[in-house]
Structure 1
Amino acid sequence: MKDEFYIGYLPKAPKRIARFVMVFVLLLFVVMGSVSFFLSTSHDHINNGTYEYGELTELKGVIQMEPVPHIRVLADDAGKVGKNIMLIDFGKFGARSSVEKMQEKTGGNISDFEVTIRGTLVYQDGFTLLELTEKDKALLNHQPLNNSTRYEAITSNSTSVSLMGEIVDPKCYFGSMKPAQNKPHKSCASLCIAGGIPPVYVVQTEQQLAEYYIIKGVNGEDINNEILDFVAEGVNIQGKVEKHNEWNIIYIDPSQIQRLN
């Protein structure tokens, strides 16, 4: 039996060669399809965070510097429904510097004024941030606060906890990057936290939901630099948790953080 030999200028390939090529192509499609399916189903789910890039939103409320810079806004005139919105600066920086410059413009303690500010919203799972895209120019208006009790913080008693989760930077995690967690995001998250953006601890519950805790030192101090080695990694932390309105604040000793094996 003569061996089949393919010559490129012939209109058709020999039957055995044609069958081999067809089978090979079909197998290639099956293998590539299986690999694609595996990769698409095995990677981390991209979260539903939103970063309203290019869209500025105005908010009216009272700015507080502790436990982290934030503005308290009210959803009703009676002041019974409100929300804490963390303030962050443009880029990879915290908002303290910009808020301090806003305070200079008011001529007093900024918490004694009801202010209108403008910025870019970042949000996910009910946790909201406002990027001061225009920095201190985000302050549009201010007037003396007549009824401070409407904006008073409600703080719960602290409880001791031991939790397992991941330390993230909230700006990227809640919307400006998706996904923004685990080791592939470590360098970016470290830059954000080193720049003053408050670190947040994410804990997954048994119901596949997430709980969020703003991290502070034992005495309420910022410990951004002290936790940089543990950012974007699975860690166990122990400390005391208290509620600040709807926020969870966890006070920890960074030397007691333990990596998860």
Structure 2
Amino acid sequence: MKKNDEFYVSYLEGSLGVKTKKVLKRFAISAILLLSVSALLFSFSQKPFKNASFELLSETKITGTFHESPYPMLRVEVAENTFKNILLVGFGKSSVNPYLKSIIEETKDIKGKTLTIEGNLIYYNGKTLMQITNDEKVTLSKANASNKIPLQNVISKMTLQGEIIDPKCYFGVMKPGKGKIHRSCAVRCISGGIPPVLATTDDNNISQYYLLTDLTGNPINQEVLPFIGKPSEIKGTVQKMEDWYLLKINPKDIKVTSELSNIY
């Protein structure tokens, strides 16, 4: 050992040399800077939380015209000749159908009838859903049904890229509500009867959402389960129903792709 070499003995106080102290100090400073920069870069790489709302702890009462086109909705007049179609879902990962059973048995057919429903609102990006947790909070209104069932206007055949999601979690509590993190939850929700939705963006990078149906306009829950949460290309016929788009598809035409468009 050279004369100027430092030798550290842990049990001897003050044996840590000047050179060793400088090296340890430089290492500690470098490590702190590296961790700080890494944390900053990681935070910038994360996508922001969606500005979604799920009024889980409060209930809202709404009145409108019930229809299934093909999923249960309540058509509500929010301004003169302006309507919003609120998608109805059940508690947890179930459809709204069990909560409508009592009133259907009582009135036989509720399509086109005016209902008053009290439940939890979910809304994001112009879309509104309502979670119903108690069938006693679904009542037939005494008011006359002044609102008609919305018309579906054919736009064109399209090929769209995006991701099949369940709107309850995507518009509500899941942040993020896409990809692998969302897949298992969405599969259970859609298999439980919650309508499947294709989330995508248009040419102007504006988010768009399409309720998926089969070619004849019927629900298509089970058929899309293998594709949920995966980047997909889907071709079908687009129809507009006031504030919602519908995409009529053949599940055989769904293709899983390697890239996913920005759906936020």
Do these two structures clear the TM 0.5 threshold for a shared fold by scoring above it?
yes
Tell me the CA shift for residue 12 of structure 1: 8.8
Which of 152, 171, 175 in structure 2 is aligned with 1:174?
A: 171
Q: What's 2:95 paired with?
A: 94
2:7 and 2:15 in contact (8 A); partners too = no
Percentage identity across paired residues of the two chains: 29
C-alpha separation between the residues in 2 aligned to 1:50 and 1:23?
Answer: 48
Separation in 2, partners of 1:164, 1:88: 26
Alignment of 1:45-56 (within 5 A): 45-56=48-59
Which amino acid counterpart does residue 120 of structure 1 have in structure 2?
N
* Amino acid of the structure 2 residue aligned with 1:26: I
For residues 146 and 186 of structure 1, do their structure 2 counterparts lie closer, same or farther at Cα, with a shift above 3 Å needed? closer
**Deviation sequence 1:31-54 (CA, Å, 0-9, x none):** 112221222222333221111121
Q: Cα 1:192–1:26, aligned 2, differ >3 Å: closer, same or farther?
A: same
CA distance in 2, matches of 1:12, 1:96: 78
Residue 243 of structure 2 aligns with which residue? 246
Structure 2 residues without counterparts, runs of 5 or longer: 259-264
CA contact (8 A) 1:160 1:241 kept: yes
User: CA 1:133 to 1:176, structure 2 compared with 1: closer, same or farther past 3 Å?
Assistant: farther
Number of residues of Structure 1 aligned to a counterpart in Structure 2: 255
Query: Would you say 1:34 and 2:37 are equivalent positions?
Result: yes
CA distance in 1, matches of 2:28, 2:248: 59
Q: Quick one: which of 184, 187, 191 aligns to 1:194?
A: 191
**1:125 partner letter:** N
CA RMSD of aligned residues (A): 1.9
2:113 matched to which residue of 1?
113
1:6 and 1:14 in contact (8 A); partners too: no
The amino acid that maps onto 1:187 is S
Deviations 1:177-231 (A, max 9, x none): 1111012211111000100000000112343321100000001121111111100
C-alpha separation between the residues in 2 aligned to 1:212 and 1:123?
13
- Correspondences of 1:106-185 after superposition (within 5 Å): 107-134=107-134, 136-140=135-139, 142-143=141-142, 145-147=144-146, 150-185=147-182
Alignment partners' CA distance in 2, 1:182 and 1:156: 31
Residues of 1 paired with 2:149 and 2:218: CA distance? 21
**What TM-score do you get using the length of structure 1 for normalisation?**
0.90
Secondary structure at the counterpart of residue 216 of structure 2: coil
Between stretches 209-218 and 24-33, larger displacement belongs to 24-33
C-alpha distance in 2, partners of 1:179/1:242? 28
2:232 pairs with 1:229: no
The answer for the alignment partner of 2:262 in structure 1 is: none
Partners of 2:223 and 2:149 in 1: CA distance: 31
Gap regions ≥5 residues in structure 1: none
What CA distance in whole angstroms lies between the structure 2 residues aligned with 1:247 and 1:141?
Answer: 25
